[in-house]
Amino acid sequence: MKFYTFPLSPNSLRVVAVANQAHIDLEIVPVDLTKGEQMKPEFLAMNPNHKIPTLVDGDFVLWESTAIMLYLAELKPRSKLVPKERHERMHMFKWITWNLSELQPACVTLQFERFVKKLLNLGDPDPREIEKGEANFHRYAKVLNGHLAGREWLVGTGITLADHHVASSLAHAEPASMPLGGYDHVRNWTRRVFETKAWKKALKALRH
């Protein structure tokens, strides 16, 4: 399976972590976004959104990291990445969609203003954007922190797609100075997620 990606992308990191946990080998194909490689006609033919990550499994092409995670989990049902019990499974979907629409956008704003702009020489952070990003970050970090009190994982008793998905938004918490002070349950849980073999391997494969 070919996996088109850019090393620093949290959307890609969560897919690679899931593949690692499911023991699925991905052939990593780097797409250098800083050089605009996502605009090449051969890449656009696979993903007209010109976005990584994109998965190619034979003649099956799939874009959107969440769909790719679900595909990999379905290939290996024994990996327990998706809970069998219906209510737990719905909670898993809830956390994934919550991340997509609530937490991740706040994290992406802080990441872009404080990390990506510096990396790509795109100018100074915009204080209004940072103010908005921080306000939203606090709103949702509070929800996550409250939920994680007394819990090891987001849903049930083991790590699921929900943990991989939500934690990925915090992968660049340090360089983006995400205001995690006071959210101890979130901090301990992200540490737990990022210290799994699946994440250590993903971070190593994609960061170096």
Ligand X SMILES: N[C@@H](CCC(=O)N[C@@H](CS)C(=O)NCC(=O)O)C(=O)O
Q: Which residues are at the interface with ligand X (CB under 6 A)?
A: 9, 11, 33, 38, 50-53, 64-66
Q: Which is nearer to ligand X, 53 or 133 (CB)?
A: 53
Q: How far is the CB of 64 from ligand X (least distance, A)?
A: 5
Minimum CB separation of residue 88 from ligand X in Å reads 23
Structure tokens at 191: 């540490």
Alpha-carbon distance of 109 to 46, in angstroms, equals 27
Looking at beta carbons only, is 90 or 120 nearer to ligand X?
120
CB of 188 to ligand X, least distance (A): 26
Residue 150 burial (CB < 10 Å; 0-12/13-18/19+)? exposed
Report in angstroms how near the CB of residue 8 gets to ligand X at its nearest: 8
Residue 46 to residue 64: CA distance in whole angstroms: 12
Q: How far apart are CA 49 and CA 205, in angstroms?
A: 25
Q: How far is the CB of 39 from ligand X (least distance, A)?
A: 7
E-assigned strand segments in 40-144: 54-57, 60-63
- Angle (CA) 141-157-75 rounded to 5° is 95
- Complex with ligand X: residue 30 or 182, whichever CB lies closer: 30
> Which residue, 33 or 159, has its beta carbon nearer to ligand X?
33
Of 115 and 189, which has the nearer Cβ to ligand X?
Answer: 115
